[in-house]
Structure 1
Amino acid sequence: MNDDNGEGVAIANLIAADEKTIVGWVYRWNTGALAIRWDMHGPQRVSRIYPDLSDADKAEIDFASLTQLPCRDD
């Protein structure tokens, strides 16, 4: 991570409802903020985060709402 360029680093994978497909990543920016980057198919239901994040980090990315999104095949 390069602090001078406002870059982030992926810290976790977002795992789809099928429990095997990675559908996005959680990034931590040099500011400490978290953000989600989706794969080319865009937002979709997430079943879990790997590796697991703290409850505070999950709240910051609103993990509960990610588990309610439509699945890719819905």
Structure 2
Amino acid sequence: MNENEVEGVAIANLIAADEKTIVGWVYRWNTGALAIRWDMHGPQRVSRIYPDLSDADKAEIDFASLTQLPCRDD
């Protein structure tokens, strides 16, 4: 990464409630911050993160609220 630019790298997949579909990605920015990028359907319920993240990282992206979002088919 270039230290003069803000850049991010995908570090984990967000897995949908169906346990097989990737619905988004967790990115770590060179600033240290985490952010979520959703697929073209936008935010939806997440069942897990793969690979798993630390509890602190999950808290930063508010994983608990991601498990409560409506499913794509709701």
- Identity over the aligned pairs, expressed in percent? 95
Q: Which runs of 5+ in 1 are unaligned?
A: none
Shift of 1:51: 0.0
Shift of 1:4: 2.2
Tell me the C-alpha RMSD between the 2 structures.
Answer: 0.7
SS of the equivalent of 2:68 reads: coil
Runs of 4+ that moved beyond 4 A: none
Give the distance between the partners of 1:48 and 1:56, measured in 2 at CA: 15
Shift of 1:33: 0.2
Q: Which runs of 5+ in 2 are unaligned?
A: none
Instruction: Give the TM-score taking structure 1 as reference length.
Output: 0.97
Shift of 1:5: 1.8
Matched residues, number: 74
Instruction: Give the TM-score taking structure 2 as reference length.
Output: 0.97
